[in-house]
Amino acid sequence: MHELILHHYDISPYAEKIRLCFGLKGLPWRSVQIPVVMPKPDLTELTGGYRRTPTLQLGADVYCDTKGIARAIEDVAPSPTLFPDGSEAIVPALQRWGETSFMMVVTVLMGEGGVFDEDFMEDRRKMVGDAIDLDQAGVIVPAKLMQLRANLDLLEQQLSDGRDFLLGDAPCLADLAVYHPVMMVGLVPNPKLKALVEPLRFVAAWLARIGAIGHGKREEMDSADAIAVARDAAPAEFRGQAAPPPEGLEVGQSVVVLPEEIGSGPVAGELLPSGPHEIRIRRRGERAGELVVHFPREDYLVVAA
């Protein structure tokens, strides 16, 4: 079995979701630190252009986006499960809750100023391009705070029957996905955000329970060594039932994967047989050799090159 290699940086909240997956399953993993801002040449050598954080590498297979990364970890180590029976649609729905809440927190922090340095802001301005004017975030801070308050209020209500975790007695991916934006609210020294979480006692106890899950067994690795691992490995065989490619596309054709999230970076390659929940493409890295890059179907488009 290939080692689990996470390309991430410590302050990434999305990476925290995945570090907690390792913790929940008690897994050993290798940690490759990537830059917080572009360029990220060793990361894009593996992904082909996807720049977001984190990315998981298993030999010559590269998984982009935490939704696909969590499924890959579940495949490697099914127990204890991240996806309890009967929660098939609920876990993805709560991941979406985590994503929208994350953006609310980030918008407040950017609008308030004083948290991110100019290098970071300049990089994120370039990342979102004309789609969002980050310098106008301050205008919507009061409204965003109210949205966040509404989301947190629902979370407090959900936990107020005394349950330990969102979907019952055991933690699962839903908890880890909801945890990271809420943790951020409590972490940053912003009085407006702090005021939102302070009254929530069920949320506070739940945060402590999730934090206690820990990160499994982490060992640092150099990015050049991670690329060498990819070079020396062969991508895994496809297992499972292939879904038909989108109408008009064929397996083997040159395609581009377009993330729907702004600025993540398109990735070109050859379309491979893919299951209903993921897109797989083959590409070559100059230093990493033949790779298969995986994307969760729900947030990524595949179109002809």
Ligand X SMILES: N[C@@H](CCC(=O)N[C@@H](CS)C(=O)NCC(=O)O)C(=O)O
User: Which of 4, 6, 12, 288 is the binder for ligand X (CB under 6 A)?
Assistant: 12
User: Which of 19, 25, 30, 67 is the binder for ligand X (CB under 6 A)?
Assistant: 67
53 binds ligand X (CB under 6 A): yes
Other Cβ atoms closer than 10 A to 250: 9
The 3-class secondary structure across 123-138, one letter per residue, is HHHHHHHHHCCHHHHH
User: Which residues are 254's β-sheet partners?
Assistant: 270
How many chain residues interact with ligand X (CB under 6 A)?
10
* Rounded Cα gap, residues 172 and 177, in angstroms: 9
Closest CA to 67 of 278, 274, 256: 278
Tell me whether residue 51 or residue 280 sits nearer to ligand X (CB atom). Answer: 51
Q: How far is the CB of 20 from ligand X (least distance, A)?
A: 13
Q: How far is the CB of 13 from ligand X (least distance, A)?
A: 5
7 binds ligand X (CB under 6 A): no
51 binds ligand X (CB under 6 A): yes
Other Cβ atoms closer than 10 A to 166: 24
What dihedral do alpha carbons 206, 209, 215, 216 form, nearest 10°? -140
By rule CB under 6 A, what string of x and - marks binding of each residue 251-280 to ligand X?
A: ----------x-------------------
* Nearest residue to ligand X, by Cβ distance, number only: 52
Q: How far is CA 261 from CA 9, 78, 122, 284, in A?
A: 20, 29, 18, 24
* 6 Cβ contact partners less than 8 Å away, ≥ 6 residues apart: 15, 18, 19, 22, 29, 30, 31, 32, 54, 55, 56, 57
Per CB under 6 A, which region of 9-17, 147-155, 217-225, 270-278 contacts ligand X? 9-17
Per CB under 6 A, which region of 12-20, 86-94, 149-157, 198-206 contacts ligand X? 12-20
* Rounded Cα gap, residues 26 and 39, in angstroms: 33
57 binds ligand X (CB under 6 A): no
Tell me whether residue 61 or residue 65 sits nearer to ligand X (CB atom). Answer: 65
User: Which of 44, 66, 87, 101 is the binder for ligand X (CB under 6 A)?
Assistant: 66
Q: Which residues bind ligand X (CB under 6 A)?
A: 12-14, 51-53, 65-67, 261
